[in-house]
Amino acid sequence: MVVERTMIAVLFAPVPTKRRMAVSAPLDTTIEVVTPENIAFDYQLAGPFRRLPAYLIDVAIRLVTFLAIIFLVMMSGMLAGGLFGSGLLPALGAAVLLILYFLQAWFYGVFFEAYFNGRTPGKWICGLRVISDDGHPITGMQALIRNLLRAIDLMPATTLAALDPEDSFFAMLPLMTGMVGLVTMLSTRRLQRLGDLAAGTMVVMDERNWTLPVARVDDLRVPALSSFVPADYRATPTMAKALANYAERRLYLSPPRRREIARHLAVPLLDRFEFRRDVDPDLLLYAIYYRTFLADGVAEAPQLGSLSGFSPLAKDAQFQDATAAHTTAAAATQPSATHTAATQPSADHATALSPEDRS
Amino acid sequence: MNIAKLLEQRRLQWTELERLCGELEVRGRTQQRSAAAVSRFATLYRSACADLALATAYQLPPATVAYLHRLVGRAHNQLYRSGTSTFASWVDIVIRQAPQRIFSDPCVRVAALLFFGLFTLSMLFAWNETLFPQFAETVLGAEHMTMMESSFEEPLDASMDHYLMMSGFYIQHNTGIGLQCFAFGILLIPCLVTLSYNAVVLGASFGYMARDSVAAGDNFFQFVTAHGPFELTAIALSAGAGLRMGLGLFATGGLRRVDSLRLSALKAVPIMAAAVVMFFLAAFTEGFISPSPLPYVVKAAWAILSSGLLMFYFVVLGFPRRGDDAA
């Protein structure tokens, strides 16, 4: 037990202390929410650099729709003016435009966040969502408060005149620096700006990647090796966690690096299982992972044929291939990079396996 | 234990839950869905919650746990949707809650005192040419003074299209200033600065135009009389709402600072809603009645009527009642 824990610490924590590994402090950008079903689940908070693009998209959408409305009003005004010859309609159009501008400037976010479950179009595109900080969706009142208070979060305002004093057009455009909101966001636990604090809301990542990640074992030597692990071996919870982490991350590591990392855990296990010392450490960990999570554990018969998913015939062919590959040293003919990487240590093992399997 | 088999069993339900989530997200509401589908959704959500709760007991791989977190969060967001406020609730806020709050809130009194006090002082300073000869020019600037004078030289007479457009402009401009003043209130000082600035500049304009030497004064007062009560009160109210919110940061009343801020923001919103309604009324008055060539009696009558309405609103509707939680 102690050996394993220490090894896990070496494997996954930069500082090899047991305490570090045991207490897995959550990242500071996740927030735990307890549902009415009394289940706690995590949200990932969105910081200023995720929220800025969403805001800019919203500003662009507001601008484009407003320009489109101006165009429509002008067109209809021209048509109607041509028909009636009245000066009233352009004025009505201007009044409507001004009121629309006012509503858009202050209530665009309120409307979308209240009626589309905490998402404006910009947030929807960027995968963000506003929720109440107890995890519930926001109410209309919260949406109102947080959007009205954007005026202070965007302060202090400046103009571009400082950059170009000659140009009078740029000098007129107000430039919101957003420093108040940025400072508040960086100094609060939930990355809230002032509007969020007053409304009791927070912005979280609204994940849309919904593929269930299951580490599939496509290496046929893994079940073979796992059948030789003693039947009384049980992975401890921490060991199981370490194995699952390893199996998920090994695809991103180069084969020598995998062996280097896996060796710390695998070498004591090799002694314990009385395996040959030249068994690939990566393959051994993968096999234990397979046995812990994927194989039928107790009910598993020592024969490889009982493993679900492939037949003994295909397995035999695979081993013959592996043997052939080993003897001809033609590593390049192997079907996958994993095979190529682990050929040297495990082919010996596979060769040792093959007579028993044929019987 | 075989995680793969377990996952295969659960996976069917999880994908079904995902599918339902997707439909709910795309269509938004559940109106088109049958009751059975909704209850099926709830069942699947609860079973996913149970799976998440048992994830450590099952020793599920971390990636699967992360997946479950996201799935439960997604379904949670569809099941517990944002409550949308109805029109009736806003009518209740403006008619019943807002006057009660305005009547009982000391922040509103402070803001009103500050605004109307500075306004009166500034008006007196700008009016009295002998004692404070430089005041009006220092505050308003010579350019602004001549512009103001020239714009009120002609007797008031505008056409219908001018009325319409100006109403729109006043709604956009003045309500915007009020809302900004409210938002600035959370930090108190920006709100006080905005309020004082408006009070001083408006007061100086009024005082300057009231001088006997200024010829355009008559037209100016013909213009401002009608909408004055609504607009000036609305500015003071929005600042009062802002101060109420900002005060929550400092006078926490035993709550945590964040909770106190949240509570005071909720208290401030009805006041601000009343101010927005007043800004709109002022804008229509300013757009249609103020610039019209109607006799001054009509405008003055409207000003008196609107002041009376405000008094009724603040005092009669706002007087503290037994058993009312708003006060």
- Would you list the domain boundaries of chain B? 3-79, 87-316
Which pLDDT score is estimated for A67?
92
Of chain A residues 2-61, which have a CB less than 8 A from chain B?
Answer: 33, 35-37, 39, 41-43
Strand partners, A301: none
The Cα–Cα gap between B325 and B327 comes to: 6
Residue reference for tokens 């339900």: B13
Task: Report whether pLDDT(B323) > 50.
Answer: yes
Q: What percent of chain A has pLDDT over 70?
A: 64
Residues of B in contact with A296 (CB under 8 A): 2, 5
Which pLDDT score is estimated for A27?
59
Q: Give the residue from chain B lying closest to A138, CA to CA.
A: B82
The Cα–Cα gap between A265 and A267 comes to: 6
Residue with the larger pLDDT of the pair A13 and B272? B272
Which pLDDT score is estimated for B119?
93
A231-258 pLDDT, tens digit each: 778 778 788 878 888 887 888 888 888 8
Which pLDDT score is estimated for A64?
94
Task: Report whether pLDDT(A268) > 90.
Answer: no
The Cα–Cα gap between B4 and B245 comes to: 54
Q: In the predicted model, what is the mean pLDDT of residues A5-30?
A: 46
Which pLDDT score is estimated for A250?
81
Confidence of residue A59 (pLDDT cuts 50, 70, 90): very high
Confidence of residue A167 (pLDDT cuts 50, 70, 90): low
Which pLDDT score is estimated for B158?
66
Most confident of B29-38, B161-170, B309-318: B309-318
Q: Give the residue from chain B lying closest to A155, CA to CA.
A: B184
Number of Cβ within 10 Å of residue B249's Cβ equals 18
Q: Say if the Cβ atoms of A138 and B171 lie within 8 Å.
A: no
Shortest CA gap B32–chain A (Å)? 17
Shortest CA gap B277–chain A (Å)? 14
Which pLDDT score is estimated for A312?
30
When the pLDDT of each residue in chain A is averaged and rounded to a whole number, the result is: 71
Which pLDDT score is estimated for B326?
45
Residue with the larger pLDDT of the pair A352 and A256? A256
Task: Report whether pLDDT(A315) > 50.
Answer: no
Q: In the predicted model, what is the mean pLDDT of residues A330-355?
A: 39
Task: Report whether pLDDT(B322) > 80.
Answer: no
- Would you list the domain boundaries of chain A? 44-205, 219-358
Residue with the larger pLDDT of the pair A236 and B325? A236
Residue with the larger pLDDT of the pair A314 and A80? A80
Strand partners, A130: A203
Which pLDDT score is estimated for A13?
39
Strand partners, A43: A31
Q: Say if the Cβ atoms of A41 and B169 lie within 8 Å.
A: no
A109-147 pLDDT, tens digit each: 998 988 887 889 999 999 898 988 887 788 888 899 999
Q: What percent of chain B has pLDDT over 70?
A: 90
Q: Say if the Cβ atoms of A102 and B165 lie within 8 Å.
A: no
Give the CA distances from residue B38 to residues A208, A351, B24, B29, B71, in Å, rounded to whole numbers and listed in that order: 22, 57, 10, 11, 17
Which pLDDT score is estimated for A253?
85
Give the CA distances from residue A125 to residues A29, A207, A291, in Å, rounded to whole numbers and listed in that order: 21, 11, 42
Task: Report whether pLDDT(A10) > 50.
Answer: no
Shortest CA gap A218–chain B (Å)? 14
Which pLDDT score is estimated for B143?
83
Q: Give the DSSP per-residue string, B48-85.
A: HHHHHHTHHHHT--HHHHHHHHHHHHHHHHHHSPPPPP
Q: Say if the Cβ atoms of A98 and B49 lie within 8 Å.
A: no
Burial of B70 by CB count in 10 Å (0-12 exposed, 13-18 middle, 19+ buried)? buried
The Cα–Cα gap between B225 and B65 comes to: 68
A99 vs B3, B172, B190: nearest CB: B172
B126-151 pLDDT, tens digit each: 888 888 888 888 888 888 888 877 77
Which pLDDT score is estimated for B4?
67
Least confident of A10-19, A253-262, B205-214: A10-19
Residues of A in contact with B159 (CB under 8 A): 87
Residue with the larger pLDDT of the pair A38 and A214? A38
**In a 3-state reduction of DSSP, which class is residue A158?**
strand
Residue B113 neighbours by CB under 8 Å, 6+ apart:
none
Number of Cβ within 10 Å of residue B293's Cβ equals 9
Shortest CA gap B193–chain A (Å)? 13
Task: Report whether pLDDT(A338) > 60.
Answer: no
Residue with the larger pLDDT of the pair B79 and B112? B112
Tell whether A333 is within 8 A of chain B (Cβ): no
Q: In the predicted model, what is the mean pLDDT of residues A212-235?
A: 72
Which pLDDT score is estimated for A307?
43
Of chain A residues 99-158, which have a CB less than 8 A from chain B?
Answer: 99, 101-102, 105-106, 113-118, 129, 131, 135-141, 143-145, 148-152, 155
Beta-strand ranges (E) seen in chain B are none
Most confident of A95-104, A246-255, B29-38, B270-279: B270-279
Task: Identify from A102, A112, A189 which residue to disrupt to test chain B contact, counting B C-beta atoms within 10 A and taking the largest count.
Answer: A102
The Cα–Cα gap between A155 and A172 comes to: 17
Q: In the predicted model, what is the mean pLDDT of residues B316-322?
A: 81
Which pLDDT score is estimated for B88?
83
A45-54 pLDDT, tens digit each: 888 888 999 9
Which pLDDT score is estimated for A216?
64
Q: Give the residue from chain A lying closest to B8, CA to CA.
A: A214
Which pLDDT score is estimated for B304?
92
Residue B72 neighbours by CB under 8 Å, 6+ apart:
A35, A39, A41, B45, B48, B49, B52
